[in-house]
Amino acid sequence: MEVTNLSENPEYSVEFFDPDLKYKAFLVIDSLKLGLGKGGIRMTAGVSMTEVKRLARAMTLKNALADLPFGGAKAGIAINPKQISKVAKRKIIESFAKYLLPFVPRFYIAGPDINTTEQEMQWIAQTTKIWDSSTGKPTNYCRLVNGVKKCGLPHELGSTGFGVAEAAKVATKLAKLDLKNATVAIAGFGNVGIFAAKHLAKMGAKIVAVSDSKGAVSNESGLSIDRLAKIKGDGKSVVGLGSGKIIAPEKLYELPVDILIPAAGPDVINKSNHRKVRAKIIVEGANIPIPESYERILWRRKVIIVPDIIANSGGVISSYAEYKGFNQNKMFQLVREKISKNTTLILKEALMKNRNPREIAVEIANKRLK
């Protein structure tokens, strides 16, 4: 794995091992310059300290760009949740929450990420007995503050996917493309991909291909997002749609679409396939989906890229809204305002100066960090 956006000196870099439950976990608090370290907990078999460091650094930049009073952090639990029971998963989350007690909420606030949801965030808050130890908790998990009811704002409301759609809207306008009938391919039809698809479809875009871990389906005439969302809600793969063409997931990145949204894992566009990418715009729904060296190559090929540290910041903006006790409407308004403003700011300068958008975004973030 190419190491990009890696902080040489994170404020905290901790590795945990539970001898009873037999799992390894990582916590990296990259920076506390702007506030408490904020970043989600991912649970995947292959997560490593290097990956978590990259992600924590990305969160530092993301929070700075979103102008949030948060530093950057990330955590990872090295286990495949699909190979364990829900009971076992809960034990692991509760165990990790206890390991986090010296850090939450003094230095770190947890949040959902790959394979962790509102349920895991509730388990963390219940285990630590600290409301602010996590955000992204369920909407029906509440407390009273000075007589006012404050509740969770889970990422299941779709804040990240909503923000990705807003970023795509700005990018198409600046690229002088009509979003109505623009073709879109989405790699990773999970929480981010589903909501990005729903909001883009409402804007008039045509979703022509989606994928998940078991396969991909495409249709030049457009796919039914409602039917796909129901299939995923039933725990099935998108390949069960029953219409369209089933393709290998890796082929989705090669489709000649207006907008490509990588919303799956890291480094999905890489040395082996970057030359085959034919999209006009890439909006990074996932964290670190393209190593920086290949982003630069794609930019030189006139592919407009909205980097992850702008495009998918809806989740952490939602986390801030929950932290402040805002309601859903105010949260979505905040996501739209911040992502539209930052996408416009960075892409306008990138197109005017012919510079890679990530370089400009990182410069702005570093200025704010100083």
The answer on pLDDT for 5 being more than 70 is: no
Sign, CA dihedral 231-306-284-39, equals negative
The whole-number pLDDT of residue 1 equals 27
Q: Which amino acid is at 297?
A: I
Mean pLDDT of the residues in the chain: 93
Residues of the chain with CATH 3.40.50.720: 159-313+342-365
Say what percent of the chain tops pLDDT 70: 98
What distance in Å separates the CA atoms of residue 281 and residue 165, rounded to the nearest whole number?
12
CB 49, CB 1: distance < 8 Å: no
Mean pLDDT of 234-243: 88
pLDDT at 2 over 70: no
Percent of the chain with pLDDT over 90: 88
DSSP per-residue codes, 196-250: HHHHHHHTT-EEEEEEETTEEEE-TT---HHHHHHHHHTT--GGGGSSSEEE-GG
Which regions of the chain carry the CATH code 3.40.50.10860?
A: 12-128
**Residue 31 clears pLDDT 80, i.e. is over it:** yes
At 9 the pLDDT is: 82
Of 162, 368, 159, 201, the C-alpha closest to 283 is: 162
Which has more pLDDT, 315 or 8? Answer: 315
- 147 SS3 class: coil
pLDDT given for residue 3 in this prediction:
34
Residue carrying the six token digits 């770190």: 108
Per residue in 252-281, pLDDT (tens digit) is: 999 999 999 999 888 999 999 999 999 999
Closest CA to 306 of 135, 165, 133, 156: 165
Q: Given CA atoms 148, 152, 155, 156 in this order, what sign does their dihedral have?
A: negative
Position 8 scores a pLDDT of 60
Residue 162 has pLDDT above 70, yes or no: yes
Is residue 247 over pLDDT 80? yes
- Evaluate if residue 173 carries a pLDDT over 80: yes
Report the Cα 299 to chain-centroid distance in Å: 21
- Lookup result for tokens 């190593």: 291
Domain 159-313+342-365 in CATH 3.40.50.720: yes
Say yes or no: domain 12-128 is CATH 3.30.870.10: no
Active site annotation includes 74: yes
Q: What's the pLDDT score for residue 52?
A: 96
244 vs 230: CA distance, rounded Å: 16
Bridge-partner residues for 108, per DSSP?
A: 37
Question: d(Cα 298, Cα 278) in Å, to the nearest integer?
Answer: 10
pLDDT confidence band for 51 (50 / 70 / 90): very high
Least confident of 100-109, 231-240, 351-360: 231-240
Distance CA 166, CA 192 (A): 13
Instruction: State mean pLDDT over 105-133.
Output: 96
Closest by CA position to 286, among listed 207, 150, 192, 213: 192
Residues contacting 187, CB < 8 A, separation 6+? 193, 210, 211, 216, 249, 252, 253, 260, 261, 262, 263, 264, 268
Report which DSSP code applies to 265.
Answer: S
**From 38, 53, 62, 74, the catalytic residue:** 74
pLDDT digits (tens, 9 = 90+) for 316-330: 999 999 999 999 999
Q: What is the DSSP letter of 2?
A: -
- The answer on pLDDT for 344 being more than 90 is yes
| pLDDT tier, 370 (very low <50, low <70, confident <90, very high otherwise) | confident
User: How confident is the model over 157-180, as a mean pLDDT?
Assistant: 96
Confidence of residue 4 (pLDDT cuts 50, 70, 90): very low
Report the pLDDT averaged over residues 285-309. 95
